[in-house]
């Protein structure tokens, strides 16, 4: 064999390699085909709630009456058809009246399917024996007092936060994956609950993706409704809490309503104040999860700066937008990773830290120092702020707003809302104080904690 044929061979190898790399690149580029969820609205997502507000009440009955009498157009009130039979008549009024009275009936709920499209599912009212999956949907459900209606869970990640689920069965899954074994445990749980009508519903956080087609088929064969919401988003979390609270009966309905009202109050107050900001006063924000994973442009986390009147950094820096295209997060490759991007005004690090902390200073120092070397030489190091991702969504926004616009909001202002939430008795917060809940902390807090 002469050299030329070796070179040909090498050429062939290189070509194959290039094809492989090319194919990989095409894959990577063709990536994000995640369809964004259609707007669900921030109201109560229950059919019969004709006016789309937060409650099911006489107003809704009046609207339905008006539609029956021909005073209002059916097409203006798509949610008026409470029993989803296509007709607006007295039966719909009967359903709404039953729901207002808290009597057993069947209710139709607007939620998402696995592709993020809006669908309607049928649930027995009042809903009980629920199995939730995914932290982002567990939390709002617990805040409205759903803990006692949980029959089983696939994983428990935050012991204090999830204390109210103790009566439930551990199905031995993990926070993201459901194994065949966990699924078999779920089947057994449903069989055990036969006399109570089986599992009432499966609640799924839209960002938790590992629910295979075959498992969904099992659920639909057994007529177990799947209620899915993208509740990682702070605004969608409000309607999630409201709707799930409504479904479990009158007590949780009241909790859900007050939770939603308080949340909207915070949200609206923030909107009111940041409305006045000029474009050049708006701060830019880079979001992080897990300390050093940079949130990519289309990640859910990048929605939150917009809610507090700030701008996700990628919108102002095209080089950054190119580097961090995608809808997940990516790890910083080294301490230089953000060297060119430290003109971002704020670095918001989203961390989930359980409530019921006893050594707050220790916690702050530990969290801050764990990956400090990635940040400490950036110009905006002093504007790195950790926000506890386990808090109710509106409070997360409040603490974020307080960090980003200290002239408009203060941490005391946000603390006031947290205290109000504690006082209102949203289950996981009962018995907690401002000292046992890690809310947000920045450089100054770290220095103070270090002593």
Q: Which of 137, 182, 203, 270 binds other proteins (CB under 8 A)?
A: 182
Residue of 93, 40, 41, 43 whose CA lies nearest to 69: 93
Phi, psi of 124 (to 5 degrees): -75, 135
Pick the piece of the chain touching other proteins (CB under 8 A) from 189-197, 240-248, 262-270, 432-440: 189-197
Nearest to other proteins of 65, 176 (CB atom): 176
Q: Tell me: does residue 71 bind other proteins (CB under 8 A).
A: no
Only segment of 91-99, 181-189, 307-315, 386-394 that touches other proteins (CB under 8 A): 181-189
Taking CB under 8 A as the criterion, the residue among 73, 213, 279, 412 binding other proteins is: 213
Q: Does residue 1 bind other proteins (CB under 8 A)? A: yes
Query: How many chain residues bind other proteins (CB under 8 A)?
Result: 79
Q: Does 16 bind other proteins (CB under 8 A)?
A: yes
Q: Does 221 bind other proteins (CB under 8 A)?
A: yes
Long-range contacts of 270-275 (CB under 8 A, 24+ apart): 270/307, 270/308, 270/309, 270/397, 270/398, 270/401, 270/409, 271/309, 273/309, 273/405, 273/408, 273/409, 274/308, 274/309, 274/401, 274/405, 274/408, 275/309
The 10 Å Cβ neighbour count of residue 275 is: 8
CA dihedral (206, 207, 213, 214) positive or negative: negative
- Binders of other proteins among residues 303 to 332 (CB under 8 A) are 322-324, 326-332
Tokens 């989930």 correspond to 352
| 286 DSSP β-pair partners | 347
**Which DSSP symbol is given to 46?**
B
Select from 42-50, 92-100, 192-200, 242-250 the region that touches other proteins (CB under 8 A): 192-200
Residue with smaller CB distance to other proteins, 74 or 315: 315
Q: Near other proteins by CB under 8 A, which window of 13-21, 66-74, 142-150, 431-439?
A: 13-21
Q: Does 175 bind other proteins (CB under 8 A)?
A: yes
From residue 352, alpha-carbon distances to 68, 157, 320, 392 in Å are 50, 10, 26, 12
CB atoms closer than 10 angstroms to residue 208:
19
User: Would you give the binding string for other proteins spanning residues 50-69, x where CB under 8 A is met?
Assistant: --------------------
Name the minimum Å distance from CB 229 to other proteins: 15
**Candidate residues 76, 89, 281, 290; the one interacting with other proteins per rule CB under 8 A:** 290
133 binding other proteins? (CB under 8 A): no
Residue 191 binds other proteins (CB under 8 A) = yes
The residues in 21-50 that bind other proteins, with binding defined as CB under 8 A, are 21, 23-24, 27-28, 30-34
Do 223 and 106 contact (CB within 8 A), yes or no? Answer: no
74 near other proteins, rule: CB under 8 A: no
String marking each residue 357-396 x if it binds other proteins according to CB under 8 A:
-------------x------x-x-----------------
Nearest residue to 108 via CA among 128, 89, 127: 127
- Does 73 help bind other proteins (rule: CB under 8 A)? no
CB of 1 to other proteins, least distance (A): 6
Per CB under 8 A, the segment of 74-82, 100-108, 162-170, 194-202 that binds other proteins is 194-202
Quote the least distance from Cβ 190 to other proteins, whole Å: 6
| 106 near other proteins, rule: CB under 8 A | no
**Cβ 237 vs Cβ 390: under 8 Å:** no
d(CA 51, CA 83): 16
* Among 117, 120, 339, 448, interactor with other proteins by CB under 8 A: 339
Among 216, 264, 422, 424, binds other proteins (CB under 8 A): 216
Question: Which segment (67-75, 242-250, 286-294, 412-420) binds other proteins by CB under 8 A?
Answer: 286-294
Give the 3-state secondary structure of residue 353: coil
Say how far apart CA 421 and CA 417 lie, in whole Å. 6
Is the CB of 221 or the CB of 276 nearer to other proteins?
A: 221
**What does residue 97 show for φ and ψ, rounded to 5 degrees?**
-65, -40
Give the Cα separation of 142 and 287 in Å (integer): 26
- Of 89, 90, 212, 433, the residue at the interface with other proteins (CB under 8 A) is 212
Would you call the peptide bond into 126 cis, given omega within 30 degrees of 0 as the criterion? yes
Of residues 242 through 281, those in contact with other proteins by CB under 8 A are none
Nearest partner of 149 among 201, 220, 226, 225, judged by Cα: 201
Whole-angstrom distance, CA of residue 352 vs CA of residue 290: 9
Stretch of residues binding other proteins (CB under 8 A), selected from 14-22, 58-66, 74-82, 437-445: 14-22
């Amino acid at each position: 064999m002469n050299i030329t044929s070796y070179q040909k061979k090498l050429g062939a190898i290189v070509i194959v390699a290039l094809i492989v790399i090319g194919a990989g690149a095409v894959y990577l580029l063709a990536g994000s085909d995640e369809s964004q969820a259609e707007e669900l609205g921030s109201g109560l997502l229950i059919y019969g709630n004709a006016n789309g507000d937060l409650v099911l009440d006489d107003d809704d009955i009046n609207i339905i009456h008006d539609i029956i009498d021909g005073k209002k157009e059916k097409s203006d009130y798509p949610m008026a058809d409470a029993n989803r039979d296509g007709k607006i008549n007295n039966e719909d009024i009967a359903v709404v009246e039953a729901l207002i009275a808290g009597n057993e009936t069947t209710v139709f709920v607007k939620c998402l399917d696995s592709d993020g499209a809006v669908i309607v599912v049928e649930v027995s009212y009042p809903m009980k024996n629920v199995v939730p999956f995914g932290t982002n949907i567990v939390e709002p459900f617990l805040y409205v007092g759903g803990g006692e209606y949980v029959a089983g869970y696939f994983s428990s990640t935050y012991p204090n936060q999830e204390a109210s689920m103790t009566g439930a069965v551990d199905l031995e899954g993990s926070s993201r994956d459901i194994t065949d074994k966990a699924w078999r445990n779920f089947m057994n749980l449903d069989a055990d609950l036969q006399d109570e009508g089986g599992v009432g519903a499966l609640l799924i956080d839209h960002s938790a993706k590992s629910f295979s087609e075959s498992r969904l088929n099992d659920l639909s064969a057994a007529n177990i409704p799947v209620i899915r919401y993208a509740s990682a988003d702070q605004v969608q979390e409000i309607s999630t809490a409201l709707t799930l609270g409504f479904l479990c009966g009158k007590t949780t309905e009241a909790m859900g309503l007050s939770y939603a009202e308080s949340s909207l109050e915070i949200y609206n107050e923030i909107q009111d104040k940041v409305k006045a900001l000029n474009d050049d006063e708006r701060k830019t924000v880079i979001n992080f999860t897990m300390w050093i994973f940079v949130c990519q442009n289309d990640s859910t986390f990048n929605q939150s700066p917009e809610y507090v009147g700030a701008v996700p950094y990628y919108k102002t820096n095209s080089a950054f937008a190119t580097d961090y295209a995608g809808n997940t997060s990516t790890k910083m490759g080294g301490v230089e990773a953000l060297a060119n991007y430290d003109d971002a005004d704020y670095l918001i690090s989203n961390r989930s830290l359980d409530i019921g902390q006893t050594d707050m200073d220790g916690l702050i120092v530990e969290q801050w120092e764990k990956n400090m070397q990635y940040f400490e030489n950036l110009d905006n190091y002093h504007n790195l702020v950790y926000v506890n991702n386990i808090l109710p969504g509106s409070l997360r926004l409040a603490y974020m707003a307080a960090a980003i616009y200290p002239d408009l909001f203060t941490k005391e202002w946000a603390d006031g809302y947290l205290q109000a939430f504690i006082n209102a008795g949203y289950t996981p917060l009962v018995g907690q104080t401002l000292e046992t809940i890690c809310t947000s902390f920045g450089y100054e807090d770290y220095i103070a904690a270090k002593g």
